[in-house]
Every structure is written in structure tokens, then in C-alpha cells.
A and B are shown apart, each in its own frame.
Chain A
Amino acid sequence: MSEDKNLIKNLEIKSYGTQLSQESIKVIAESIGISTLSDLAAKELADDISYKLKQIIQDGQKFMHHAKRTRFCLADVDESLKIRNIEPQYGFVSKDFIPFRFASGGGRELHFQEEKELELTDVLISAPPKAPLEVSLRTHWLCVDGIQPTIPENPPPLSKELQAQDSVNPVKKLEKTDLKDTSGKPAIKAHKLKTHETVHVKQLATHELSVEQQFYYKEITEACVGADEGRRAEALQSLASDPGIHEMLPRMCTFIAEGVKVNVVQNNLAILIYLMRMVRALLDNPALYLEKYLHELIPSVSTCIVSKQLCQRPELDNHWALRDFAAKLMAQICKNFNTSTNNLQTRVTRLFSTALQNDKVPLSSLYGAIEGLSEMGQEVIKVFIIPRLKFISERVCNMQGPDISNTERNAAGHIRMCLSKVCAPVLKTMRSTPDVLEDYKRDFGFLGPALHQSVIKARQTPSSTTTTSTTSAISVPSVAPRVSSQPIHRQMTQQQPQQQQQQNQQKFYIKPSSPATTSNIVKIQSSQKIFIQSSPKTVYVTNPSSGSNPQIDDLSHLE
């Protein structure tokens, strides 16, 4: 409270004696055709006008208060003029505030308002503006017997900012409780904080769910991985929009992490896709802040990108779609949660790029790594993929022989398609115009002709469309979440028959392991290691900065 008062006081001091300057008066005078206004006259006018303006604004505030607003409107000025028996400013109407622009130059500061000149005929020709919507009433329960229901009409019980603060700054919680019981007594506060710190930090947080929440959790998780597509859509919708599920978030994340672990081993593509869609829904929920749970989500998602095998029949099933989708998720996670302290994007990029360095990585993992990198944006493609193109080329080239399995050939084809799609826009900007096929062959080996083709194609089409085609899914994920998840959905329905079978027999593999047994949950200790747990053998990727080359083997271990 005292801080507030200080703040107010500072503002007060600043606003003491504000006045229109003489220059302003002169400029205004010029604008109405009075070019020679003496300094003295300008000063007198400035004084008088400032006084009158202030009075009008002051009275206008009363109208603002009585209209129960906190924003000053043009209408308030009009009414303030009316009570002084002055004609209001007819014709100046603005529902919102008028944006003033600020400019400075030549040692002067200027605030001005941009006024566009309208062509009258244009106004007449254009369609009349839409009639405003009629005011309507809507009812909801703000609280029931003293408990606020967590429905979309009510604000989330724990605001996103608080959740963010909670996860970023664990001391915050302690400070806050202290502040509450010693407000206004700064001397005691410092003392108390100290004692609390030693006692409180080690306390275990009990985390209880109400019966309703448990029921909700059961229903949602069953629906998300169940057979009924309609129920799943509803469940995902609920995950993506419900404001009150943050309490269940640890359980949800554990469910996803455990589910991925089990189903990667079982090669259950359908369930993996469902789980990724759950991740997507959680990411889309505007009321949630996931940072605390990234240590569970990121390994799961990266598993779905780079795992060697994700389905039972790699030559037939479209596991590529899952990899693409998971890669998009990863890009979105990086975009949302990357900070200078967690270096999320750097670490994820590093994970993928190491796969490109290794010639033993299976092709499906290679594809995942490329996809994962390409979703991170053009700069990443330029730095990590382009230099490795020749290397990848060789590997793909090796897969062309007759003795190579169908699966491998299929994978090689996908890599080629993917590369020509994502590299073309980047190569277009990197290389100068005469695109000589020989140069491409020399630089990129086997993939040269394909890349050459796509670059030429890219040059013909307008640049804007080509660039957005690769990045749009990342840059605007929250705007059209339903739309972008569509492709995977469609593929699902194509593969419906065989998956139904799988689901029936494999449903029990997803066991929502009880969150209390946290010992088997993989954790990221805030900076150093990322574990990928995808098979009974724990395989982990360590930070490349730690020296040697263990990670080269990592992905091959997935075999």
C-alpha cells in the first residue's frame, strides 16, 4: 500500500504544472491562418487554454466515474462541455481512445494524432458499416456455496502469470505467504523470511485431487486414447479450453510420458498419435503454463520424432505423419518456453543435429531429426541441415540398390521429399541465380537434381507463399489449432481398421501410473541432460558440450 502511495506521489509530482507550450499555441495558430502571433499573446493563450482544458477534463472525469468506466472517453468531454453551457463537439465520435503517436527529432518531442483524409466518394460507395450487436444477457454461476466453479465463464483459479511465476521462481510462494501475515511491518518481515526459508523449503507439497477431478481425469484419459473419435474430440476440446485443469496437469503429463514409453516399445502408432494430440491440446490451453512439466513432455515428444520404429509395419503405416506432427509440437514448445536460462531451443536443436552427424542412425530417425530441425525455422535449416546435405545424400544414395528392403527405400524417399521441400526456400536465398544442375550435383551429391528442381520451382512462385508453407504451422499454432491438426486426423481415419484391432488388444498398456510413484519419472535437471526413455533399456542423450561422442550412438540404440 505504501508503495502504491509512493507511486501515486511520484506521478503527482510529475504532473504538477503541466501546460501547453507557447510553440504548440503558435503551431495551432498557424494551422488556422494566424501566422504572426506575438510571444506574449501566445503565453497568455497557453495559460488560459491550459486552465480551461484542465477544468473540462476534470469535470469529464466525473462522468467517467458515474458511467462506471476506468477509461476516459470523448463522450465525457462532451458532457463536461454541456454542464458549462458550451456546445459539445458534434461529430467527433470515437468508441475507443484516440491513439496519439510520438515522434522526436531536432531536440523536440511531438505528440500527434494521425488523421487520414477520407475520400467522400469512397465512403459513399463502400458498404454501410455493420449495425452493432444488440446487448444481450448471459448467466453463469460465479460461485456455488462459496466455491467458484472452474468453467470457461470464470477466470482460471490460478492465472497463467502466477503459474509461470510459480514454476520460474519457487521462492515466490514463500515470499507471498510471508507478506500476507506481516504486511506493513517491514522490520519483522525480513526476520521472518529467514526463519521460514530454512523450514519451508524442504516441506513436501501435498497434492490432492477432489473426487470430481479424479473422475474427470479418468474420463478424459480414457476418452483421449479410446476408440470413440467423437468422445476424443470432446475430451481434447476440454483439455484445450478448460481453465481449471492445472491441478491435474502433473498427472496428465505423467500419463502422456508413461503412455509414450510403453507404446513406443509396443509400436502402437495410434495411441502415440492420440497422446501427441493430448500434448497439442494442453499446449493450446490458454490458461495453462506447462514449464514445470516440460521434463516429461519433451522426452515424449522427441521420442515420437526420432524413434527408430513407431509402428508395427513401417513399410505400410504412416508414421511419418506422427513424426511431422510431433516435430511441429516440439517447435511450438520451443517457441513458447524458450528462455535464456533454460536454453530449450538450443538443447533440442543440438539433440537433432547430432543425429545428422552420425552415419549409423537409422533412416527413420534421420528423417525425424531433419523434420524436427526444419520446423525450427529457416535459420536452423541453414546452419544445421544445408551443410550436412551431402552426407545425407550419400546415405540416401546407398539405399537405392536392389538388395535394400522396401522399408528403407520408403524412408529414403521420404527424406528426399522432406529435404527438397524444406531446403528449397533456404537454398533459394543462399545461392545466386543461375541454378546449374552440375553445381547442385557437385555440392549435394545424389540429392542434387531433386533440390535443383525444387529451387527452380521455388524461384518461380512468389516468395511469400513458399516461406510460409514451411513455417505457418509453427508461427500461428494457437490461432488455428483444429485446422492444423487436421492432416493427422485424416490419416487416422484412413488407417482405422487396423488400428481398431490394435486398440482393442493394447488398450491396457496405457496404464495411468499413479503420480505418487514419482521415482520412475524421468527428469530434466534444469540444464544438463535430456533423457529419452523409449525402450526398456534407458537410453540417454547427453549434452554434446560435455565432450566425447556418446550421443552418436544414442539414436542408433533405438534400434
Chain B
Amino acid sequence: MTNKNDLLAVLQVLKKYNLKGTETILKQEANLTDLPENFNHDASDSVLQAYQSEGDPNSYESCYIELLKFVDSSLDIYKYELSMILYPVFVHMYIELVYNGHEEQAKKLMKKFGPEQEYYYQSDLKKLEMITKRDQMSGNDLTDTFKSNEFIIRISRDTLSLLKRHLQEKKASVVMNIVNEHLYFDLYEGVARNKKQCDATAGAILGEARRQDNKVKVYYGLLKETDFQQMTTQAPPPEEDDDEGPDSDKPKKKKQKKDSLFSKKSKTDPNAPSSDRIPIPQLRDNDKAEKIRALREAQKRVNLGPDNLPSVCYYTLLNSIYSVTSAEISEDSSLLAIGFSDSTIKIWSLTPSKLRELKPAEMLKEIDRDVDDVLVRMMDDRKAETSRVFHGHTGPVYRCSFTFDRSLLLSCSEDSTIRLWSLQTWSCLVVYKGHLNPVWDVKFSPHGHYFVSCSHDKTARIWTTDSHQPLRIFTGHLADVDCCVFHPNSNYVATGSSDRTVRLWDVLSGNHVRLMTGHKGPIYSLAFSIDGRYLVSGSSDTRVLVWDLAHGHLIASLEGHTSTIHSLCFSRDGTILATGALDCNLNIWDFSKLCDDLVGENVNVSHNPDVKKGEQYLLRTFPTKQSPFLTLHFTRRNLLYGVGMFESN
């Protein structure tokens, strides 16, 4: 039946645009000969039909009060789970009243019970409260969302039967209709949850995640990396030796260290995806050299922990009040890209070496291509500068992202385009058009080639640098997708959204494999732990939540900030989590302790474990002088860089 309705809708569109040929073909193909006459009514109206009700508008309030009383008077063990239905019932009552033109009653209901709802629903209620007329509902995002989706509530069998019995006894048709039409109960066996448990995962625009949503297995392990040890010992690149003279005379020792570094990865991880699960580009010589350099640096890494806190170097942007929108540091910590609200991007070199440009074509011709240092010779030293500016976007630049080898830079902007820039010719290479609205975030995959972007148009997309078309479009979020990040193994993408959910998408299939609720505000930052198992998200509700990807459980809530958290960063050894927020504070959390505490617990697959409070893991807070954090970055040696703009009063 639903299938037929879809077809009817398509036919209607065809009719509207007068595409007779296609229409007849479709009719034949679908065997739709006996068309109902009245199928001409507006499609959006049909969705709203559900709200057509003959109930007395004045009875809504008393119905709600009755429901409230029922919840209040029920036993404590069921109370909190039952109270979860109040908000969706309230919202749908309001929408119904407005739809049927009972403005006064709707306003009264909102005024009386709106402020009573949980604080995390207030922002949505305020949006809803604006709508007082039926014609304002058409095209409104929020009402559309409520209309076309069911509100999901996880509920124990006992609680649900209690509720059903109550509704049948009272014959509360208004509430009954809403419960039947717009609520989805995700049943589970066992004891009803208490208030803390209910609150932990509540907060998303449409309630909680279904158990179904988090059932698929996620391969959160890391890919087996190519072994670079042999390469380093066999043929150390000549320029390396020049750079680090003192190190080159003791290769023996180096090798042993490297063994220990890689010993963990050499075992096959049962949770790791096979290395050809998604095609990953071959490493070029350039990439290999860079990897080797990274390894060398990693040997000099300081191991961090509660007794060994990191040093923080802070870059303050002066004269930049309200003009800087983003900051990004390259993986090797040598470059800093700043996106401005006047649509420019400025690149700084953070090391003494300047930003060089590729020589012009006629000079490149003269270079001997077989020379070892051909890459160095190609660059023009005379045009070196410490900072450079990219012009091209036509709106604020919301994010930049460097490739691993520092040859390319991606940027996304309010003008709904993504641009790819070359850091060798210092020019724009590609403009990726596809998003319909401002693009909030863009990130390269850790293996290069792929990148992910997300936008106000509620989608996240996977692209490759060599194609104009996105490879995957992830739809499912119910509001802006505010941030996105690749999993370290490049097989998954995590997105955070204004609908207050975090989702994990499989790059291979394009499906969402995890749906995680619990944030009470839009999510603005995401980061995967170094081992790939955990995901942390920072939100405007001032909390950082830690999720276990194995089952999609919320495991810890790190509370310590007082404003939106825009930057999260793990130390290179994965022991420390640094978070920076607009409250000008940098918090250092002991992540290894959190992991250790988790290992001991036996995880119940269907039930969310108790959420750990963050206080015990907070190691230190460092305030800055009126400089909110834009980004944080750990260098390969575990020195922490912070970037912020100075806001003088």
C-alpha cells in the first residue's frame, strides 16, 4: 500500500510537469490502471492529514494534565520512563492544535506547560512556539521533522503495559492517537530505568536511538600499516641524514625502539577491517618519506600521563577580533591555516622554513629529473614567504584541512563550495560544488585521497579529490550536520549534528551504523581516540561525551567547561585528551585512566552502562587571557599547540 502511495506521488509530479510519455509508461509498468480520482490533493497535505482531528480543542489541556497526574502518581520505578512520553505528547498536541486552527488554546498550552519540559528541549520548544498558524507549518523544518518521524522512546515492557492500561481505562483518545501515530516504543525486557539513566541518553530532537540502530558490527580497529622499519634501515633518505646528524650514527638502537612501537600492530586485530575493505591509495615516494620522518619524530615523543603533563604552546591571533572563523594545524605541525570571515585563508609557516613556490614551467624543464633531491630543486627559494593568503571563497571559511604530505589544503565556506588548494603552486585547483547550503566542516581522510564534508543541508558527503561528484551522500540527520571526522582506519565517518545526535557511517555501504544520543545541544567537535575504539564529542551543552563504538554506548560525560567546546585533541600516545572551549579554558583529561576503568567492567550489550562522571579524570585546567580556543593540536613529540584569538574588551 505504501508502495502504491509513493508511485502515486511520482505520478502526481509527472502530471504537474506535463510529462505524459513517462506517465503512461510508469502507469503500465506499475499496473496502475484504476487510478483513484481524488489523488490530486497536495502531497504535503496528506502527511498532515494525520493531524486532522475532531477532538474538542479545549480538552487537550485537561488531557495533558491527566497524563501528568498519571505520571506523577505512578510508582517511582516507572515514573521516569513514563515521564519521557510527556514531551512528545506535548509537542504533538501543540502541533495538532495549531494545525486545526485553535491558536488560542495552543498558545495557552505552550505557555502553561512549555517551561515545565526538560531544559534540553527548550530550544526546540522555542522554535515551535513561534509557529502559531497553519500556513507557517508548511516548510518549517521542525514541524516537518515531527510530522514525518516517530519519536523514539526506549521503554521496559512493564512500563509500557502500565501506560497502555491507563490510556485504555481513561479512553483518552487525544493522547491515545498521538501515542499510536507518532511515538515508537523500543521495548526491552528488564527493570525500568531510573532518572539518571533516562537523562543520560535523552536530549536528541527525536528521542533516543533504537537498539536496531547500533546492532551492526563496527570494525573499529586500525588498519595494518605498511612496515617502514625495513625501509628506514635499508635506504635512509639522504636529506634526512643531513637534518639530524647526531641521530644517524646509532641506527641499531633506533631499530629496536621501532620494534617496540610496532609490536602491538603486528598482531592481527579481530576488530580491524581488512585492508582492502575500501580501496586506499598506494603510497607515493613522497608519502613514504613523510611517514619515515613521522616515525623518527615519534621516537622522540614524550610519554604523557597524570604525572607528566604536556607543555602547551599557545598561538594568539592579534587584531583579529570577530574576523577569524577557523584554524587548523598540519599533521607535522609545520603549517597553520586560518580561515577568515572575509572569505580569505591565510597560511603561516610555524617553522623557520619559509613557504616556497614551485618554479615556473620553463625553469622546471631545466631540472634533471633523476637527481635525488629533485623535489627540493623544483621549489623556488626566491619567492619564499612566511605567510601566504588564498583568495577565492565568497563567504566565511569554516574549516580547512591539510593532507598528510602538506601538498594540498581543503577549505569549506558559507558559499556552499569546497575548494582544493595547492600548497606548491599556491593556487586553487578544484571547486567542489554539491552542497546546497553553507558547508560547516571538511576533513581529509587519514590516508588521503578521500575527504568528508558536512553542511547546513543536513547531509554529509564523501568525496575524492579527483572527482566533481561526491561518492557517498549520508542523509539521516534531522538538522544541520555541524562537524564530521574520519575514523583512523578511513572506513567510517562520524558526524555530529544540531539534532543533538552523533552518527557513525560506513563509507563502504553508506549506511549509518551507530546512532548515539545524549547530548543536550548541537555538537561542534568530534575526535576518535588513537586506538579507534572510542569517539569523543564536544557540544554547546558544555560537555564532552565519550562513546564506545563497539556498542554505541555513552560511557563518560566530562563536565568542566562553561561554554561551547570547539576543539578536541588526543595526545599521540592516546593517554591524554585536551579540550578547548570558548570559555577560554583548556582542560586536560586523563584518558588512559578512563580506558583502564572501562576494561574491568563487563558490558551489557543492550543496556547503557552507568555513565562515568568526568571530575575524577580532569587533570588540570589552564585558563588563557580572553582567548577562546579555536583549535588544539598535539605535535608528533606530544607538545600541545593551541590557537586562539585575543578578545580585548
Complexed CA–CA distance, A363 and B617 (Å): 67
Could you show 10 A-B contacts with beta carbons less than 8 Å apart? A9-B122, A71-B322, A79-B395, A135-B318, A135-B324, A139-B315, A139-B316, A141-B314, A142-B314, A142-B622
- Scoring B residues 126 to 155 as 1 if CB is less than 8 Å from chain A, else 0, what string do you get? 110111110010000000000000000000
Taking the nearest CB of chain B, how far is it from the CB of A107, in angstroms? 24
B311 part of interface (Cβ distance < 8 Å): yes
A55 part of interface (Cβ distance < 8 Å): yes
Q: Which of A133, A137, A144 contacts B315 (CB 8 A)?
A: A137
Q: Which of B57-65, B106-114, B236-244, B273-281 participates in binding chain A?
A: B106-114
- Scoring B residues 422 to 437 as 1 if CB is less than 8 Å from chain A, else 0, what string do you get? 0000000000000001
Complexed CA–CA distance, A138 and B456 (Å): 34
Q: Which of B316, B320, B325, B619 contacts A140 (CB 8 A)?
A: B316
Taking the nearest CB of chain A, how far is it from the CB of B97, in angstroms? 15
* Inter-chain contact B312/A142, CB cutoff 8 Å: yes
B620 part of interface (Cβ distance < 8 Å): yes
* Inter-chain contact A154/B322, CB cutoff 8 Å: no
**Residues of B with C-beta under 8 A to A83:** 437-438, 456
A30 part of interface (Cβ distance < 8 Å): no
* Inter-chain contact A146/B395, CB cutoff 8 Å: no
Taking the nearest CB of chain B, how far is it from the CB of A61, in angstroms? 9
* Inter-chain contact B630/A68, CB cutoff 8 Å: yes
Known: A135-B320, A136-B317, A148-B622. 11 other contacts (CB 8 A): A51-B131, A62-B480, A63-B396, A66-B440, A68-B566, A75-B341, A83-B437, A143-B309, A153-B625, A154-B623, A155-B623
Complex interface residues of chain A between 172 and 197 (CB less than 8 A to chain B): none
Closest 10 CB pairs of A and B: A146-B309, A142-B312, A142-B314, A133-B319, A13-B115, A135-B320, A67-B325, A143-B312, A155-B625, A54-B130
Taking the nearest CB of chain B, how far is it from the CB of A13, in angstroms? 4
A33 part of interface (Cβ distance < 8 Å): no
Number of A-B contacts (CB under 8 A): 156
A58 part of interface (Cβ distance < 8 Å): yes
B498 part of interface (Cβ distance < 8 Å): yes
B346 part of interface (Cβ distance < 8 Å): yes
Complexed CA–CA distance, A140 and B627 (Å): 12
Taking the nearest CB of chain A, how far is it from the CB of B207, in angstroms? 20
Complexed CA–CA distance, A140 and B624 (Å): 11
* Inter-chain contact A16/B311, CB cutoff 8 Å: no
Complex interface residues of chain A between 8 and 45 (CB less than 8 A to chain B): 8-9, 12-13, 15-17
Taking the nearest CB of chain B, how far is it from the CB of A409, in angstroms? 54
**Residues of A with C-beta under 8 A to B321:** 95
Q: Which of B107, B130, B315, B540 contacts A55 (CB 8 A)?
A: B130
B330 part of interface (Cβ distance < 8 Å): no
**Residues of B with C-beta under 8 A to A75:** 341, 396
* Inter-chain contact B315/A138, CB cutoff 8 Å: yes
* Inter-chain contact A139/B313, CB cutoff 8 Å: yes
A87 part of interface (Cβ distance < 8 Å): no
* Inter-chain contact B110/A135, CB cutoff 8 Å: no
**Residues of B with C-beta under 8 A to A68:** 324-326, 564, 566, 582, 628, 630
**Residues of B with C-beta under 8 A to A155:** 623-625
**Residues of A with C-beta under 8 A to B480:** 62
B522 part of interface (Cβ distance < 8 Å): yes
* Inter-chain contact B346/A135, CB cutoff 8 Å: yes
A132 part of interface (Cβ distance < 8 Å): yes
Taking the nearest CB of chain A, how far is it from the CB of B326, in angstroms? 8
B563 part of interface (Cβ distance < 8 Å): yes
B positions within 8 Å CB-CB of A: 107, 110-111, 114-115, 119, 122, 126-127, 129-133, 136, 308-326, 336, 338, 340-341, 346, 348, 395-396, 398, 414, 437-438, 440, 456, 480, 482, 498, 522, 524, 540, 559, 563-564, 566, 582, 586, 588, 619-620, 622-625, 628, 630, 642
**Residues of B with C-beta under 8 A to A142:** 312-314, 586, 622, 624, 642
Task: Give B127's nearest chain A residue, CB to CB.
Answer: A58
Complexed CA–CA distance, A54 and B127 (Å): 8
A47 part of interface (Cβ distance < 8 Å): yes
* Inter-chain contact B122/A12, CB cutoff 8 Å: yes
Complexed CA–CA distance, A264 and B432 (Å): 80
Complexed CA–CA distance, A66 and B437 (Å): 14
**Residues of A with C-beta under 8 A to B338:** 135
Complexed CA–CA distance, A54 and B123 (Å): 12
**Known contacts being A142-B624, A146-B620, is A135 close to B129, with CB within 8 Å?**
no
Complexed CA–CA distance, A19 and B336 (Å): 46
**Residues of B with C-beta under 8 A to A95:** 321-322
- Residue in A54, A83, A142 with the greatest tally of chain B CB atoms within 10 Å: A142
* Inter-chain contact B119/A5, CB cutoff 8 Å: yes
A115 part of interface (Cβ distance < 8 Å): no
* Inter-chain contact A146/B314, CB cutoff 8 Å: no
A69 part of interface (Cβ distance < 8 Å): yes
Complexed CA–CA distance, A12 and B129 (Å): 11
A208 part of interface (Cβ distance < 8 Å): no
**Known contacts being A17-B107, A51-B131, A65-B522, is A8 close to B438, with CB within 8 Å?**
no
A203 part of interface (Cβ distance < 8 Å): no
**Known contacts being A12-B115, A12-B122, A135-B320, is A140 close to B314, with CB within 8 Å?**
yes
**Residues of B with C-beta under 8 A to A54:** 130
Complexed CA–CA distance, A437 and B314 (Å): 70
Taking the nearest CB of chain B, how far is it from the CB of A47, in angstroms? 7
Task: Give B136's nearest chain A residue, CB to CB.
Answer: A51
Task: Give B325's nearest chain A residue, CB to CB.
Answer: A67
Complexed CA–CA distance, A73 and B396 (Å): 13
Complexed CA–CA distance, A138 and B315 (Å): 6
* Inter-chain contact B642/A135, CB cutoff 8 Å: no
A145 part of interface (Cβ distance < 8 Å): yes
A70 part of interface (Cβ distance < 8 Å): yes
* Inter-chain contact A17/B129, CB cutoff 8 Å: yes
Complexed CA–CA distance, A51 and B312 (Å): 47
Task: Give B540's nearest chain A residue, CB to CB.
Answer: A65
**Residues of B with C-beta under 8 A to A66:** 325, 396, 398, 438, 440, 482, 524
Complexed CA–CA distance, A73 and B321 (Å): 12
A122 part of interface (Cβ distance < 8 Å): no
**Residues of B with C-beta under 8 A to A109:** none
Task: Give A68's nearest chain B residue, CB to CB.
Answer: B566
Complexed CA–CA distance, A95 and B497 (Å): 29
